[in-house]
Structure 1
Amino acid sequence: MSDYDDSFDVLLTSIGFGRWQAPIILATVLVAAQLPVHLVGSPFVSAPMDFHCSPTPPAENQSALFNASGTNDTYYDNKCLEVPVNISDDLMEETYNGTGYFTGLPTCPYIEYDTSIFTSTINSDWHIVCDHDNQRPFYQMMYNIGGLIGSSLGGHIGDRFGRKKSVQVGCVTHLVAVMLTVTVPSYPFILLMRMVVGVAMVVMLLPAWSLALEVTPSRHRSLVGMLMGLPYSIFVAANAIIAYYIRTWEYLLLAGAFPGVILFPLAMYIDESPRWLVQKLREEKAIRVLESAVNFNNAKLSEPVDVTVKKLVEAAKESAGASNSQSLRSQLQELLKYVRSPAMRVILILSPTLWFLQSFLYLSVAVNANNFTTSGPFLYMALTGLMDGSAILLSTPLATRLGRKVIIFAGMFGGGVLFFLELLVPSGYGWARWILVMAGFLLVGGSFQVNYIYGPELFPTETRARGFGFLNLLGNIGFICTPFVTENLAKHAWWTGGVFFGVSGLLGSFTIPLLPETRNKPLPETLQDVEDRRNKKLMEKAKRKNERATEENTT
């Protein structure tokens, strides 16, 4: 940490944690409140609905007759026509009997949906069945692609225009995209808006998270960083409850976006990050913001705010001059130096692999509700929110006692084993399947939480931000791969999901032993520190080996 960072943390410590930070923390919570309906909401919004295909319009109220006779399950058989129908103009009718639709699909010209669980979803409104069944993964995938784009845009906008401005832009973009999604009758347009929503959410989330941490004194920062993950878990469970009462996808999306209506005026009111203002040498604005902080928190400073800010601005100028002096050529040389380093090479290979597998596993289990249960995904999603919140509360304190590697290895390995065991449970023991899957998700969620602490600690200070960004990039790619398993492969064979989950957990755990432990260890400042950390471990291992050999010889 630079002298500038130390000085700013001293100032924040003097200001304290109180009323000034409250609206900023609330804004971060409101951003997190909008995330679940998009990231893990596909089991509700784009859920597959049981259907019945007909080559011609069936008799009126035919599905109702089947329901009355108690054979409704056999009527909605989810089967496409074995012999495709030649679609002619005289067959093209928009609806029939108010319950079915003309799809224009040769293997399912007319379709009726079972609305006992959902009134309508993306899949039913746009007939993502039979000939269009391969389009099912796109709804989830487009959001994750947007998140991948937003990961780079969010950091750029937040660093260039400020954390506050980025939250405002992301909030407006998100609200507009959601409104267009539910009003424009075009599936390709919905997918485009889905990607825009993914971009907007990350453009909001990353700067909001940075803003909350940048206004928090160092002694509270770890606790605040840990607890800020809880609102997401709470709103995952809340989203499941809301979806239970709102069974139409358009209204559910609007309900999920409603916190943005509160967020926008709040984002206009909150202060910009004073740390960012100082880094951008905006001295007068930084003074006004910090004076407001002092007044709100009733703080007492040893010297006037303007004097402190002037010193910080001078330190920021020196720091900026040092960082800007590095040319593109020297940056490439630095990258090559990192690749050639044995210790860093292990980290650059294994840590991104872990993030890819862990992200894929976490999201895959979270959105696998419709493949796991046929009675509705509501309880499944509510329990995943509960497990995720419990994982945050349990894993972070344990990581400080047991170490990062132990928790991550146990979570990934234990989760992988439990997902494999779930495949062996007989059909009559559904309660056992629930216990195994939820326990596995708890373990994976705990390891995921600890990895957000562990990942940045592996990289030296000089490249920590870039290294953590690279890990998040691989994590987003893991998210993108999720729907191909949960939407495509799982419909062909029931066991594919469990196999992929188990394999991902076990493979991820195998990357841990070769990575260094960071608990109670000083963070590396340079690449040489990373090498020294590895060499010290090798020397200790060789010493223990020699001691054992000596003991064996003496005996």
Structure 2
Amino acid sequence: MEFSELLEQAGGAGLFQTLLLLTFILPCFMISFHVLLENFSASVPGHRCWTQLLDNGSVVPANITPEALLTISIPPGPNWEPDQCRRFRQPQWQLVDPNATTSSWNEADTEPCVDGWVYDRSTFTSTIVMKWDLVCSSQGLKPLSQSIFMSGILVGSFIWGLLSHRLGRKPMLSWSCLQTAVAGTGTTFAPTLLIYCGLRFVTAFGIAGIFLSALGLMVEWTTTSRRAVTLTVLACSSSAGQAALGGVAFALRDWQTLQLAVSVPFFAIFLISWWLPESARWLIIKGKPDQALQELRKVARINGHKEAKNLTIEVLMSSMEEEVASAKEPQSGLDLFRVPMLRKRSCPALVTSFSLLISLYGLVFDLQSLGRDIFLLQVLFGAMDILGRATTVLLLSFLGRRTILAGFQVMAGLCILANTLVPPDLQTLRVVLAVLGKGCFGISLTCLTIYRAELFPTTVRLVVLFFLPETRGLPLPDTVQDLESQKSTAAQGNRQEAVAVESTWF
């Protein structure tokens, strides 16, 4: 694992790494907008059936109140509020009588909302639920659209991981930004729900590419001692995006305007991405030492590091000889389960990631069940996430990855379980537990992001927790052999090269 030494000769942690981090803050900030967008663009407003008496002013009797018209037109629902999905076939005038009882009508007197719905537009002037009537018998289409979006991230993670390894991090990052910008903007003008879902899938596909490519470049241009802090800063920018989404959605109450506002900035991100250098580590492994040397010297110039004059192709090839030889061997995603050392890491990592993410998304995608002010809730979730992720830097200085990840996942789970026992009318307590759980998830997810990058070699990195080894202070592995070396080093207690994370770097 000699690439870290080459990186040190190019300045290690200097102006270039700072500029790289600042460049990636914007896309990480904006990604959160798209992931959580449907908390607002697909918000379900209050609604009831359209009726002629209530909604056709020309036939409304002048001597009857709106409340009485609602009583004779819409049957009561489960909570004795106007039913959202049924209406009376004919006005039930007998219900105006103060002595009328519930037996004055029956189910045969009602029918579905055959003429459409009337929506409460006091919170949002327009959502996709209003546009395509995703309520009552069609209410299952709303979560379906969110599932399609998450499927795009899932498929994109596999595809972009392979393409990034074969074609490079930088071109995939630029293409992903352009794809997200075009598809996201196009979603604004989708004429049908089917086209809307298709464009959301393409957008999510691009977002996965941005995340994977940016993470790969950031990790591979960052020294071991700064890795945790750098990734934590990016994680905090993502959390800041969550908080900012609440404010943006509060200002823009129309789903099309909101969709456009969160998509157009990716055109600027696409243009900015062109200054980024390709990963020198990837170039060397792919047999492009000339280009790798150019990138390293470019980075050294930006960092003002003169020792880069000692870098030559011969030095690069001799330093990375083992990694280059390993890259020439046949590689596939099946190596994650075929190679014993990788299998011991892959299975626990997959289970841990799945359990963490399914709980996290289950919490953040259901704001309406926690309270009426979803704008404030989104801001609170983002703010607590920033606090939790920033705390991770300090925790990583004193505790191991496994301890942090296991401990805070348990705490997050307890918060969610406790919330299921709280009565719905105690909204404040439910919000407090949800926000605390979100903070615990923030710490866990940040730790997991750092941990995964340290667990797997470069060739497979982009593709039961206590069985995972500790990686604190160890350089990134490039090959499977490096994993064995890590195991040997840990067993001997040889941690002289481990450098404590400095939480005051930024």
TM-score range, shorter chain: 0.7 to 0.9
* SS state at 1:112 partner: strand
CA distance in 1, matches of 2:308, 2:202: 47
CA contact 2:345–2:468 (8 Å) conserved in 1: yes
Partner of 1:320: 324
Over residues 501-528 of structure 1, what are the superposed CA-to-partner deviations in whole Å (9 max), with x where a residue is unaligned? xxxxxxxxxx555655555789895777
- 1:183-332, aligned counterparts within 5 Å? 183-301=189-307, 303-304=309-310, 307-313=311-317, 315-316=319-320, 319-326=323-330
Aligned counterpart, 2:399:
402
Secondary structure of the residue aligned to 1:423 is: helix
CA distance in 2, matches of 1:26, 1:327: 34
Corresponding residue for 1:367?
Answer: 365
> C-alpha deviations, 1:267-294, integer Å up to 9, x for none?
1233333333333333444344333323
Distance 1:76 1:280, change over 3 A: farther
Does the 8 A contact of 2:10 with 2:307 survive in 1? no
* 1:78–1:34 distance in 2 versus 1, CA, 3 Å: farther
Partner of 2:56: 60
Alpha-carbon distance, 1:326 to partner: 4.4
Check the 8 A contact 2:160/2:209 in 1, yes or no. yes
SS at 2:222 equivalent:
coil
SS of residue in 1 equivalent to 2:278: coil
Paired residue for 1:358? 356
Q: What are the residue-to-residue correspondences of 1:129-140 with 2, within 5 Å? A: 129-140=135-146
For residue 101 of structure 2, what is the aligned residue in structure 1? none
CA gap 1:154/1:302 in 2 versus in 1, 3 angstroms: closer
Distance 2:442 2:117 in 1: 40
Cα separation, 2, equivalents of 1:41 and 1:119: 16
Following superposition, the deviation at residue 210 of structure 1 comes to 1.6
Q: Does structure 2 conserve the Cα–Cα contact (< 8 Å) formed by 1:162 and 1:272? A: yes
After TM superposition, give the deviation of residue 404 of structure 1 in Å: 2.9
Which of 378, 382, 386 does residue 381 from structure 1 map onto? 378
Q: Cα distance, 1:529 vs. partner?
A: 7.6
Equivalent residues in 2 for 1:408-427 (5 A)?
Answer: 408-427=405-424
Aligned counterpart in structure 2 of residue 178 of structure 1, from 178, 181, 184: 184
Distance 2:336 2:234 in 1: 35
Amino acid at match of 1:361: S
Matches within 5 A, 1:39-50: 39-50=35-46
Amino acid at match of 1:377: I
CA contact (8 A) 1:421 1:436 kept: yes
Could you tell me how far apart the structure 2 residues matched to 1:293 and 1:58 are? 69
Matched, 1:81 2:78: no
Q: Which amino acid aligns with 1:158?
A: S
Q: Does 2:31 match 1:35?
A: yes
Contact 1:12–1:215 (CA<8 Å) still a contact in 2? Answer: no
Select which of 148, 152, 158 maps to 1:146: 152
What residue ranges of structure 1 are gaps of 5+ in the alignment?
Answer: 86-104, 471-510, 537-555
1:442 corresponds to which residue?
A: 439
Other-structure match for 1:494: none
Cα pair 1:106 1:131 within 8 Å, conserved: no
Distance 1:316 1:46 in 2: 50
Following the alignment from structure 1 to structure 2, what is the Cα–Cα distance between the partners of residues 212 and 240? 28
Supply the distance in 1 between the matched residues of 2:48 and 2:146 (Cα, whole angstroms).
25
Q: Distance in 2 between matches of 1:350 and 1:451?
A: 12
Q: Contact 1:158–1:166 (CA<8 Å) still a contact in 2?
A: yes
Structure 2: state its 5+ residue gaps.
91-110, 493-506
Partner of 2:96: none
Are the structure 2 counterparts of residues 66 and 170 from structure 1 closer, same or farther at C-alpha, using a change threshold of 3 Å? Answer: farther
User: Is this contact kept in 2: 1:412–1:444, CA < 8 A?
Assistant: yes
Match of residue 167, structure 2, among 149, 161, 172: 161
Contact 1:45–1:121 (CA under 8 A) maintained in structure 2: yes
Q: Counterpart in 2 of 1:101?
A: none
CA distance in 1, matches of 2:469, 2:171: 38
Whole-Å separation in 1 of the counterparts to 2:334 and 2:174: 35
For the residues of structure 2 that align with 1:308 and 1:227, how far apart are their CA atoms? 33
The SS at the match of 1:229 is: helix
Question: 1:487 aligns to what?
Answer: none
Alpha-carbon contact 1:33-1:259 (below 8 Å) kept: no
Any idea what SS the aligned residue of 1:117 has?
Answer: coil
Aligned mates of 1:44, 1:132 — CA distance in 2? 18
Deviation at 1:320, TM superposition (A): 2.6
Q: For residue 390 of structure 1, report the CA deviation from its aligned partner.
A: 1.0
Which residue is 2:500 aligned to?
none
Aligned CA distance change for structure 1 residues 57 and 211 (closer, same or farther; 3 Å)? farther
What SS does the corresponding residue of 1:451 show, helix, strand or coil? Answer: helix
Q: Is the 8 A contact 1:55 1:81 kept in 2?
A: no
Q: CA offset at residue 392 of structure 1?
A: 0.9
With normalisation by structure 2, the TM-score equals: 0.79
Q: Give the secondary structure class of the aligned counterpart of 2:48.
A: strand
Change (3 A) 1:464 1:45: same
Cα distance between partner residues in 2 of 1:334 and 1:369: 36
- Map of 1:100 onto structure 2: none
SS at 2:115 equivalent: strand
Aligned partners of 1:84, 1:161: CA distance in 2, in Å? 63
* 1:390 pairs with one of 382, 387, 391: 387
The 1-side partners of 2:152 and 2:192 are apart by 19
Change over 3 Å in CA distance of 1:76–1:533 after alignment to 2: farther
What is the SS of the residue equivalent to 2:421? coil
Cα deviation 1:21-65 (Å, max 9, x = unaligned): 444323311211221122122111111111111365843358xx7
**Distance 1:222-1:465 versus aligned 2 partners, 3 A rule:** farther
RMSD of equivalent CA atoms: 3.8
Asked whether the 8 Å contact 2:170–2:277 carries over to 1, the reply is yes
**Rounded Cα–Cα distance in structure 1 between residues aligned with 2:487 and 2:308:** 42
- Cα distance 1:252–1:309, how it changes in 2: closer, same or farther (>3 A)? farther
CA contact 2:54–2:70 (8 Å) conserved in 1: no
Deviation at residue 346 of structure 1 after TM alignment? 6.4
With over 3 angstroms needed to count, the CA separation of the structure-2 counterparts of 1:9 and 1:333, relative to structure 1, is closer
SS of match in other structure, 1:109: coil
Query: CA 1:465–1:431 in 2, change beyond 3 Å: closer, same or farther?
Result: farther
| Paired residue type of 1:172 | L
